[in-house]
Chain A
């Protein structure tokens, strides 16, 4: 079992729809969670981070964390073609000082 698991996709949604990206983690020592967006051939770009259970909203993005279920998600509202990218989930263990990344979910938003 991978430490951080994501559906590889591809996930395809029509423009304007809500895209839902999911991530589970196995290390209960993980306390901080991050979502990165990576366009093809580019470096990962941090788009959201969440440390506490519940929801965190930033513009069209909402991150959700449930530590009891070891589950993190990212919702993208009003999806745009420019949101088409690979989304990486990362879990950070404060004691180890290390982030573990999932393999990413590829999202395609169709006009």
Chain B
């Protein structure tokens, strides 16, 4: 059973470019979460999605960031007009939420560097 997959693992963008991060959840999981981790800091929740629905985006910056989880294909976190402060590790986690089971499993992360 394949785990959570993220690509690319490393992404370098110049200021002002767009970054697209992809996440394929674990097989059988329909819930996806995105987190950001700045160097030497903790995990910060960004957004929680189910297929074709954004459930909670309270952690997403209001501008330049968007996320989707289409009916087919991976979840996408999109960052427009990147700035140096966007440099961080972005982790995706997935879960299959049902009565009694809420564990989230993390992908390997995408390390974004903005030059």
Q: Contact residues of A with B, CB < 8 Å?
A: 32, 34, 36, 42-46, 49, 51, 88, 90, 92, 94, 96-104
How distant is A95 from chain B, measured CB to nearest CB, in Å?
Answer: 11
List the A residue with the shortest CB-CB distance to B43.
Answer: A101
Binary interface encoding of chain B residues 40-75 relative to chain A, with 1 for a CB under 8 A from any of its CBs, else 0: 011111001000000110000000000000000000
Could you give 26 example pairs across A and B, Cβ below 8 Å? A42-B109, A43-B106, A43-B109, A44-B43, A44-B91, A45-B106, A46-B103, A46-B104, A46-B106, A49-B103, A88-B42, A88-B43, A90-B104, A94-B102, A97-B97, A98-B33, A98-B48, A98-B56, A99-B102, A100-B45, A101-B35, A101-B42, A101-B43, A101-B44, A103-B42, A104-B42
Q: Let me know if B41 and A97 touch, CB within 8 A.
A: no
Do most interface residues of chain B lie in helix, strand or loop, or is the interface mixed? Answer: strand
Residues on B with beta carbons closer than 8 Å to the beta carbon of A101: 35, 42-45
Q: Contact residues of B with A, CB < 8 Å?
A: 31, 33, 35, 41-45, 48, 55-56, 91, 97, 100, 102-109
List the A residue with the shortest CB-CB distance to B111.
Answer: A41
Residues on B with beta carbons closer than 8 Å to the beta carbon of A100: 45
How distant is A41 from chain B, measured CB to nearest CB, in Å?
Answer: 9
Q: Let me know if A34 and B104 touch, CB within 8 A.
A: yes
Residues on B with beta carbons closer than 8 Å to the beta carbon of A103: 41-42
* Bound-complex Cα distance A88 to B37 (A): 12
One of A43, A92, A102 near B102 (C-beta < 8 A):
A92
* Bound-complex Cα distance A96 to B89 (A): 25
List the B residue with the shortest CB-CB distance to A36.
Answer: B106
Q: Let me know if B42 and A32 touch, CB within 8 A.
A: no
Residues on A with beta carbons closer than 8 Å to the beta carbon of B35: 101
List the B residue with the shortest CB-CB distance to A100.
Answer: B45
Q: Let me know if B45 and A98 touch, CB within 8 A.
A: yes
* Bound-complex Cα distance A97 to B31 (A): 10
* Bound-complex Cα distance A34 to B106 (A): 13
Residues on B with beta carbons closer than 8 Å to the beta carbon of A34: 103-104
* Bound-complex Cα distance A46 to B104 (A): 8
